[in-house]
């Protein structure tokens, strides 16, 4: 499989009135297309900053980032915004849904700036909602949903533009274990059945073990990059590595 993401010695620091804080300290790896990768580490390890760079929300201080063989460092702000809207989808811990808006309209938001007619938009929204098993809730307001259902709507919204990569930042952090497992089941299904590239950011080992590969971070550096041997299945049991 060709690499969809490649980083070379990524570094990121923040300068606050002359006080420099190093957040990333030389991060290098490649992610093949269609892989489910968990980036794991404690708070302050740099994993969220790394996700923001990979998702075109921030820029590294130095080093190189290639997305689909394109050097992201050569892109201006408008080009980055276009990449962000077309190439990636985001799922956040806090859902980030509009509360008094229907599931349909929440999922349609990323399509508002895409040139297509209303029939095409509607069909894409219905397909995305169906993919997360919420067709029966498509006309409900998002504040009428459970936490697990809200996160499934957020996944549908991330899917609707058919992105190259889905970033999930602590997607089960606000959910009970049952709802969290449903969300992980959907992410695994998108990866295994549809071949979607998924990058999961988490501090929970249990959640990370649903991925096929785990990149461990500490103090802004990659300290381990390994295959998940006993991978959790969507039924919540371990699958022995092959």
Cβ–Cβ contacts within 10 Å for residue 83, how many? Answer: 18
Of all residues in the chain, what percent carry a pLDDT higher than 70? 95
Does 241 have pLDDT greater than 80?
Answer: no
Cβ neighbours of 69 (radius 10 Å): 9
What pLDDT digit, counting tens, does each position of 122-170 carry? Answer: 999 999 999 999 999 999 999 999 999 999 999 999 999 999 999 999 9
At residue 238, the pLDDT reads 53
Virtual torsion, Cα 5, 162, 196, 76, nearest 10 deg? 10
The backbone torsions φ and ψ at residue 196, rounded to the nearest 5 degrees and listed phi first, read -75, 140
Q: What is the DSSP letter of 2?
A: -
Residue 137: exposed, middle, or buried by beta-carbon count in 10 A (0-12, 13-18, 19+)?
buried
pLDDT at 233: 67
Mean pLDDT of 59-69: 96
Per-residue pLDDT band at 231 (split at 50, 70, 90):
confident
Q: What is the pLDDT of residue 229?
A: 83
Q: Residue 234 has what pLDDT?
A: 57
Do residues 162 and 86 touch, judged by C-beta distance below 8 A?
A: no
- What are 165-186's pLDDT values in tens digits? 999 999 999 899 999 999 999 9
pLDDT tens digit sequence for 13-30? 998 888 999 999 999 999
Q: What is the dihedral of CA 45, 51, 56, 58, to 10 degrees?
A: -20
Q: What is the mean pLDDT of residues 59-78?
A: 94
């Amino acid at each position: 499989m060709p690499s969809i993401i490649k980083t070379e010695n990524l570094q990121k620091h923040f300068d606050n009135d002359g006080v420099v804080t190093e957040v990333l300290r030389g991060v290098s790896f490649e992610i093949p297309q269609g892989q489910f990768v968990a980036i794991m580490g404690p708070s302050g390890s740099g994993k969220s900053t790394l996700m923001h760079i990979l998702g075109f929300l921030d820029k590294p201080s130095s080093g190189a980032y290639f997305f689909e063989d394109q050097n992201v460092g050569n892109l201006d702000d408008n080009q980055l915004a276009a990449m962000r809207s077309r190439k990636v989808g985001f799922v956040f811990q806090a859902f980030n849904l509009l509360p008094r808006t229907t599931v349909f309209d929440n999922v349609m938001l990323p399509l508002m700036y895409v040139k297509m007619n209303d029939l095409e938009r509607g069909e894409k929204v219905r397909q995305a909602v169906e993919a997360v098993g919420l067709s029966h809730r498509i006309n409900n307001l998002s504040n009428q949903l459970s936490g697990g259902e809200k996160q499934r709507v957020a996944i549908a919204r991330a899917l609707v533009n058919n992105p190259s990569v889905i970033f999930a930042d602590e997607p089960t952090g606000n959910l009970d274990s049952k709802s969290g497992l449903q969300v992980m089941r959907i992410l695994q299904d998108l990866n295994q059945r549809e071949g979607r590239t998924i990058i999961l950011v988490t501090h929970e080992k249990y959640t990370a073990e649903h991925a096929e590969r785990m990149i461990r971070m500490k103090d802004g550096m990659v300290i381990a990059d390994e295959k998940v041997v006993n991978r959790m299945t969507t039924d919540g049991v371990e699958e022995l590595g092959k």
